[in-house]
Amino acid sequence: MMGTGRVVPIVDVGSLFEAEATAWELPDQRLFAAARTTGFACIRGVAPDATLDPAGRARLLEIFSLDEAERRRLYRRKFAPENPNVYRGWFPLQPGNLTAKEGIDIGGDVAHGPAVTVAGDALCEPSPLPQESRLPGWHAAVAAYYCAMERVAEVLMRSLARSLGLRQDYFDDSFRQGLSTLRLIRYPPRDAAELAAVSEPGIWVETEPGRRHLAGAPHTDSGFVTLLAQDGVAGLQARSPDDSWMNVPPLERTLVVNFGQVLEQWSAGRIRATEHRVLGAGVERYSIPFFYEARAEASIAPLPIDSPDRFVPFQYGDFLWKRITSFIEFRGMEGERSLERFPAIDKHRQASSPRRR
């Protein structure tokens, strides 16, 4: 059910982009307060290239105009064995599950070229993209938006570092040439027959307006910071501290910010990775999340403000691969990447954790 008096805070972060440090204090406080409590915020005040108006959203979402044959050339190997890409690329609808979505995962090579790809590591593979002649100007629009999201995420991570009592550039190196992903998602309407075919419990939930079905299963994000552009169709909800669900409104010219499991662990629980879900809206819904992620070889170790034995250090890429291959769109791909080492469970976290994305 929905909680009473629980709302997602709106934080104006415009001053964080100013050079004068005295301007950072108030947005630092407000962003960190949201990170500690709800684990969600709607931010405004970022540069125009980082907030999508309806025309900007439509430009990026043109990829959904591709026909099935063109989409299949972008499919991950799981869905099209003839394709080389494992981690990046298109994931089609998979009926019978709590989550009903399709879309594409795009890596940093769309903006930075082959410098951020690594042969032999599925996490660092090139992104399959449609031909420029099919969607003229689409590549450039996606690259520009990817870079804008990187700039916003870096500024937010610096704000969080200051609030944690660290050097503001403490996290910078871990994210250079990182694994950040721009995901374009479509949630189609679900008809009665498709919903009846879902065998998993929990497809129907009770909300204040009445009984609703899910379009996206409850989960937490895996990594660090997620920046989400919504399309104006409501449905996203976050679990509030009182364990109820609160709506995350699709406000124009804002980005939704939430935080992932690794950042929660890295910050010793000072920053909250919040469970969230998507309710079916009865109409088509689009979503554009950007997952700001560290390099595959980045070492995640206890912060200098914490005990060095809080958790066993680990490489981010190993954690990410182990986690994503437990989910439906990657299941069966475990052997496509070798793991060097995987972290022991943080002794300060609960034994179980919700699902990713």
pLDDT for residue 324: 84
pLDDT for residue 327: 76
Query: What CA–CA distance (Å, rounded) separates 348 from 357?
Result: 22
**Which among 188, 64, 84 has a CA at the least distance from the CA of 130?**
64
pLDDT for residue 340: 54
Query: What CA–CA distance (Å, rounded) separates 54 from 52?
Result: 6
pLDDT for residue 74: 98
Helix axes 25-36, 138-163, angle to 10 degrees: 90
pLDDT for residue 22: 96
Q: CA angle, 329 as apex, 327 and 330 as ends, to 5°?
A: 70
Beta strands 210-219 and 276-279 are antiparallel
pLDDT tens profile 292-325: 999 999 999 999 999 999 999 999 999 999 888 8
pLDDT for residue 339: 64
Query: What CA–CA distance (Å, rounded) separates 356 from 348?
Result: 20
Range list of β-strands (E), 177-262: 181-187, 204-207, 210-219, 225-230, 236-239, 245-247, 255-259
Q: How many residues in the chain?
A: 357
Stated pTM of the model: 0.93
Low-confidence ranges of the chain (pLDDT < 70): 1-5, 339-357
